[in-house]
Amino acid sequence: MNKSPFILSIAGGGSTYTPGIVKSLMVRLADFPLSEIRLYDIDKERQETIAPVVEKVIRDHSETIKFTVTIDAQTAFEGAHFVFAQMRVGQYKMREQDEKIPLRHGVVGQETCGPGGLAYGLRTILPMVELIDLVEKYASPKAWIVNYSNPAAIVAEGVRRLRPHARVLNICDMPVAAMRNMAAILNADRHDLDVDYFGLNHFGWFTSVRVKGEEKLPQLREHIAKFGLLTEDAAQTDPQHSDPSWVKTWRHIQPLMDAFPEYIPNPYLQYYLMPNYIVEHQDPNYTRANEVMDGREKRLFEAAREYKETGILPDAFHVGVHGAFIVDVACSLAFNLRQRHLVIVENKGAIAGLPYDAMVEVPAYITEHGPEPIRVGDIPRFYRTLLEQQLASEQLLVEATLEGNYEKALEAFTLNKTVPSVIHAKKILDDMIEANREYWPQLHKAYIKGK
């Protein structure tokens, strides 16, 4: 196969994840050859802080790959073959608001689930579409955008509505992270796991886990009943998900499965199925955003400073399934490998009973033309109803964003299973409109007018 090297741009170049993704790219150069890596961000200072670390990672593996750091879209995307997108609109400062505002009202505070996820969705849909337009304007006509930007379910729905033909593949590393943990529990190689799964992003279930054709759900159930979805020694899991809050999250698979042992839930279902428990066990003044700013972000910034001062780069960033997965998906797109991965795609009948155009998360073969979803078929009523409600909440939120429609935003918040009443929904939404003034001017206007 002719593998002429690609130009790859990373949108959200200043992300704490960038060095890890680039490291993953470097160890896979034989599979996914690169002539140039470009970092693109709208926050110049942040990107320039992280860029020397990224450059060092590249130079440790290649003298020839060109490295470009820019805040100019044309420079970033001209002739690019792949774009990895990982934007965080409002950065960690706004993530903190997404988490803390609902908690002030006794409701789950999370960046992708519940009111926090809806708020983050309202901020992200239009910037994501702007990015797609810039890529389409400048990049190679067959360029693919592989998108990690959250909240992925809502972003995917917004993109489907506004740019239905865009070459964007929305992905999430959560199922593959769960598979990493399953493999550790089963003492197997992650790549030998063969799974069935259905749902929406951050809202789905594994219905089968096979290793060399043998069903492993019974063994996993037994383990989960004792330890959750972690090995007995939690330190054995990937450091990306070994902060205390993540360890708790993996452990929570146990109560979820004590209630419904049939399938293995995506860890994010803890927020929808036991919201009050989560709120009661969380410090409303110190959320995941704080943990990340004091942890992953701080370590990376310190490493960048140390590298600048001493020329020695400490091992301060993480390489794991997050980076490996996006490279796997890109390889399959680039070389038509038809690998089977869990990705976010338009349903098109894959999950029976869910709307044809719903953006679902299911296994798909990744081809050079994009994902070909695998038919899941019928699902039990309990799961379908949960999915329908969540889908309605997310779709209404997208409509609210596109129309600047306050009532629809309130409906989206009210329908979300983490929100106990319309009174909570309204108070949280109104506080969020205030906090997001500069991001949602239209909704702010609609809100003021309705007062």
Residue ranges binding Mn ion (CB under 5 A): 172, 174
Our CB check for Mn ion shows the closer of 174 and 366 to be: 174
User: Do 186 and 216 form a contact (C-beta atoms < 8 A)?
Assistant: yes
The only residue of 69, 139, 156, 172 in contact with ligand G6P, by rule CB under 6 A: 172
Within 8 A by CB and 6+ apart from 154, the residues are 117, 118, 120, 121, 124, 125, 394, 397, 398
- Known catalytic residue: 268? yes
The binder of 157, among Mn ion, ligand G6P, none, by C-beta within 5 to 8 A per type, is none
Q: Residue count at the site for ligand G6P (CB under 6 A)?
A: 7
Nearer to ligand G6P, 288 or 408 (CB): 288
Q: Considering only 26-34, 60-68, 166-174, 189-197, which stretch makes contact with ligand G6P by CB under 6 A?
A: 166-174
Tokens of 75: 């420079």
Measured CA to CA, the distance from residue 101 to residue 27 in angstroms comes to: 41
147 binds, among Mn ion, ligand G6P, none (CB under 5 to 8 A by kind): none
Residue 288, contacted partner among ligand G6P, Mn ion, none, CB below 5-8 A by kind: ligand G6P
Distance CA 145, CA 147 (A): 6
Catalytic residue, from 148, 268, 406, 439: name it: 268
CA distance 235 to 349: 40
CB 271, CB 278: distance < 8 Å: yes
Q: Which one of ligand G6P, Mn ion, none is in contact with 408 (Cβ closer than 5 to 8 A by kind)? A: none
If the CB atoms of residues 223 and 322 are measured against ligand G6P, the closer one turns out to be 322
- Residue, CB closest to Mn ion: 172
**Mask 269-298, x = binds ligand G6P (CB under 6 A)?**
-------------------x---x------
Alpha-carbon gap, residue 332 to 257, rounded angstroms: 33
Catalytic residue among 41, 98, 173, 431: 173
Query: Looking at residue 10, what DSSP letter applies?
Result: E
When binding is defined by CB under 6 A, the residue of 55, 173, 328, 394 that contacts ligand G6P is 173
154 interacts with ligand G6P by CB under 6 A = no
Please give the Cα distance from 95 to 111 (Å, whole number): 6
Q: CB-wise, 81 or 322, nearer to Mn ion?
A: 322
Q: Of 172 and 429, which has the nearer Cβ to Mn ion?
A: 172
Judge contact between 365 and 372, C-beta under 8 A: yes
Amino acid at 352: A
Tokens in use for 52?
A: 């020397």
> N- to C-terminal Cα distance for the chain?
63
Report 176-235 residues binding ligand G6P (CB under 6 A). Answer: none
Radius of gyration for the chain, computed over Cα atoms and rounded to the nearest angstrom: 21
Q: Does 252 bind ligand G6P (CB under 6 A)?
A: no
Residue 292 touches which of Mn ion, ligand G6P, none (Cβ within 5-8 Å per kind): ligand G6P
Q: Report, in Å, the least distance between residue 45 CB and ligand G6P.
A: 21
Q: 34 or 128, CB closer to ligand G6P?
A: 128
Residue nearest to ligand G6P (CB): 174
295 DSSP assignment = I
Please check whether residue 436 is in contact with residue 119, taking contact to mean a CB–CB distance below 8 angstroms: yes
Least Cβ distance, residue 287 to ligand G6P (angstroms): 10
Q: Are 34 and 24 in contact (CB under 8 A)?
A: no
Distance CA(157)–CA(128), nearest Å, equals 11
CB of 441 to ligand G6P, least distance (A): 26
Q: Determine contact, residues 107/426, Cβ cutoff 8 Å.
A: no
| Residues catalogued as catalytic | 173, 268
Residues in touch with ligand G6P (CB under 6 A): 112, 150, 172-174, 288, 292
